[in-house]
Structure 1
Amino acid sequence: MLNTSRNFTTCQPQHISIFIPIFLGVIFFIGFVLNCISLWIFWFRVKQWNSTVILQFNLAITDAIITPAAPLIIMYSLTDHWTFGTILCQFKVFLLSTHMYGSIYFLTLISIHRYFSVVRNDKRKALTTKPFITKLSIIVWGFLLVQGIPFFFFLQTSEVHGVTKCLSIHQNDQAVLFFVWNWIIFFSGLLIPFTITLICYSLLSRYILNVNPINNLTTVMVNKSVQTISVSLIIFIICFIPVHITRTMGVTIILFFPSMCSILEKVEVAYYITWTLSGTNCCMDPIIYCFASDRFNNTLTGRRSLRQRQDVSFRRSSPWSSLEQDNNRLSLA
């Protein structure tokens, strides 16, 4: 375990509002239901998987993976006292990390995929094929595993003011560890993916200005790609950016300015709020599936899309037919 020899002035931890566990319970339940429905549709209703389905299925898995840790998180929020031991603390943090950064990485891959499918469809078609996306998804899961495994070696629980803490900024004995890990993950797990997603959105938005307005099919498909990336950006802005900013401020203050308790109290309250908001991504991610394809949405409603009934020869003659067919297979039953 990484320790520091500095003497810290211990500030009083802030009390967790009862609203937080209630809100988390509602969010986790809604997210569990939505992602179970999404996984059921992907597994049982989508007969022919393509690269789009693979990415969205993996995103749904990252959202569902938080379920085993949800009861532990809610109970810890209720009492602010960790009574489940070090191993379960490490397991909870591992699932939290895999859930959050798995969502970030796959949202980023979905944005990249939409960009290459629309803008670079002819020149970079290999980057959107099913075999390539499958291998890329396996690499992401391997990276998530490597990223989370160190928690089982370094993360420990600590006694703070008579209560046990699990992953708290008030664990002074792990302040250096939290600070180093936070800055590494801030760049690799947030800044780089968000920048890539923002670039994809900007390029797609610029590209849509050059789309032939007469070709309604092309316009609809490009618009849906822009909407998909837009939802990804909204999820970043609401769920991921605020919690990373407040956490960075917290670990910096506790390490370098441990006597500034009044500021730390405000930052800690802000962190609890942003951390609670970060949990809403498991409810927002399913919106991606509806924007990515009409057929996924139609599977939920039981309706058939007008585009599904369009003349096959028109689709085959269109230069966008490969992308359209890729989108249509998303919910082919």
Structure 2
Amino acid sequence: MSVNTTVDHCKTPNQSTYEVLSWLIMGEFVLGLPLNLSVLYIFIFRYKFWKKKSIFLFNIVVADFLMMVCLPAKAYDYQHGQRRSPKPLACKLMHFMLFLNRGASITFLIILSIDRYFNVVHLGRRNFVKVLKKTPQISILIWVLLLTLTIPTMVNSFECCNSHGRAIETPSYDVTDTLREIVYFTQILIPFTVLLFCTVRIVNRLRRKTVGEKTKLRRAVLVVISVVVVFALCFLPSTIARAVLLAVRLQDWQNAENVVVQVYDSLMVLSFMDCLLDPLVYCFCNSGFKDAYISTFCPTFLQKKLLKTDFGLGTTTTTTTTIITTTNSGNRTVCLKKK
């Protein structure tokens, strides 16, 4: 395998591009940090997620918050002409955190979609996800499993300091590198396939249901569609770009790689938008969280309007009007009319 050892792959190929990306990252941080802090506050102090059986949602919040606090370091590297930190420990730690928290966010989002799938398509059957939601130990087990899968990012350096085609690879190095890429792609492609399956089945079920059952189904459709949107905007573009980058790198096309790597890093910046879009998933998943958030942070003049708005969640307030009619014989008939 030929390798161009004269090229410093850790340095930015075009500093102007990375200056812009650094400001975009800081914009995501400035918007995302207060948003995620406010969501954490609602889940812990107002919504009390442990009583509402929303442990999986809370885990997504934690994963998003941990990813958000990593962004200033990423912006700092870009500002100083580095794609990744030149310090090996910092480089490994940053990739470990990003891989772990992105994997956690994806895992718990998919579990929520599977839960909706069983509640709608297999209503009446035993839903194993409901059992999992009642046991916090399952969430801990998932984090431990994700930690295990993320360890390869710490064994050898990543991106600027390796990867396939970057150095003369020993067998152990090659196995670690290959495992890392397998984890990266399966982390996206398998969940997205599961998500598409759940979405298609739920939408088909909605079409066959009667009018009286459509409110619950509409909510389920909104949940899975919101997760599809998060995947389509945040994760799929960077995954495709990484596949192209690996192909170019293995062919040792340095000029092409300088272009593709900028596209890949730009799409990775786009993937951080996940931390800003996930609160929409929380609202679609649970109207109680939406109501708690609106009543806490929205101005008074907006609260009444927003709380009465359905958003397709079936949360519109229902009022009952009583109509009393009296017949000639003196009997009274009471009619109830819902609005």
Shared fold by TM > 0.5?
yes
Q: Is the 8 A contact 2:68 2:275 kept in 1?
A: no
What amino acid does structure 1 have at the position aligned with 2:246? V
State whether structure 2 residue 272 is matched by structure 1 residue 279: yes
What secondary structure is seen at the aligned counterpart in 2 of 1:235? helix
Deviates more, 1:132-141 or 1:166-175: 166-175
Q: Measure the CA separation in 1 of the matches of 2:185 and 2:158.
A: 24
| Alignment partner, residue 331 of structure 2 | none
| Alignment partner, residue 14 of structure 2 | 15
Cα deviation per residue 1:95-140 (whole Å; 9 max; x = unaligned)? Answer: 0101211111111111101111222231023431355563432232
| Unmatched segments (≥5 aa) in structure 1 | 1-5, 158-164, 312-333
Match of 1:104 among 96, 103, 106: 106
- Return the TM-score normalized by structure 2: 0.77
Q: Measure the CA separation in 1 of the matches of 2:52 and 2:260.
A: 41
What secondary structure is seen at the aligned counterpart in 2 of 1:296? helix
TM-superposed CA distance for 1:251, in Å, is: 2.2
Match of 2:148 among 124, 146, 169: 146
Q: Measure the CA separation in 1 of the matches of 2:166 and 2:123.
A: 50
| Alignment partner, residue 121 of structure 2 | 119
Match of 1:220 among 215, 219, 240: 215
What amino acid does structure 1 have at the position aligned with 2:239? H
Match of 1:245 among 233, 240, 246: 240
Cα deviation per residue 1:239-298 (whole Å; 9 max; x = unaligned)? Answer: 11111111122123223x11x223223321211221111111110111101111222222
Q: Is the 8 A contact 2:195 2:224 kept in 1?
A: yes
Q: Measure the CA separation in 1 of the matches of 2:133 and 2:267.
A: 37
Deviates more, 1:114-123 or 1:302-311: 302-311
| Alignment partner, residue 288 of structure 2 | 295
> Following superposition of structure 1 onto structure 2, how do residues 176-215 of structure 1 map, counting pairs within 5 Å?
176=174, 180-213=178-211, 215=212
What amino acid does structure 2 have at the position aligned with 1:185? V
Q: Is the 8 A contact 2:185 2:239 kept in 1?
A: no
RMSD over aligned Cα, in angstroms?
2.8
What amino acid does structure 1 have at the position aligned with 2:44? W
> Following superposition of structure 1 onto structure 2, how do residues 35-54 of structure 1 map, counting pairs within 5 Å?
35-47=36-48, 49=50, 53-54=54-55
Q: Is the 8 A contact 2:203 2:221 kept in 1?
A: yes
Q: Is the 8 A contact 2:196 2:228 kept in 1?
A: yes
Q: Measure the CA separation in 1 of the matches of 2:87 and 2:236.
A: 30
- Bigger RCO (CA 8 Å, 6+ sep): 1
What amino acid does structure 1 have at the position aligned with 2:124? D
> Would you say how many aligned residue pairs link Structure 1 and Structure 2?
294
Q: Is the 8 A contact 2:234 2:271 kept in 1?
A: yes
Aligned-residue identity in percent? 23
Q: Measure the CA separation in 2 of the matches of 1:56 and 1:46.
A: 12
TM-superposed CA distance for 1:150, in Å, is: 2.8
Q: Measure the CA separation in 2 of the matches of 1:177 and 1:76.
A: 28
Q: Is the 8 A contact 2:53 2:134 kept in 1?
A: no
How has the CA–CA distance of structure 1 residues 70 and 48 changed in structure 2, closer, same or farther, with 3 Å as cutoff?
closer
Return the index of the structure with the highest Cα Rg.
Answer: 2
Deviates more, 1:260-269 or 1:91-100: 260-269
Q: Measure the CA separation in 2 of the matches of 1:115 and 1:136.
A: 20
TM-superposed CA distance for 1:77, in Å, is: 1.1
How has the CA–CA distance of structure 1 residues 86 and 20 changed in structure 2, closer, same or farther, with 3 Å as cutoff?
same
What secondary structure is seen at the aligned counterpart in 1 of 2:70? helix
What secondary structure is seen at the aligned counterpart in 2 of 1:209? helix
What amino acid does structure 2 have at the position aligned with 1:292? C
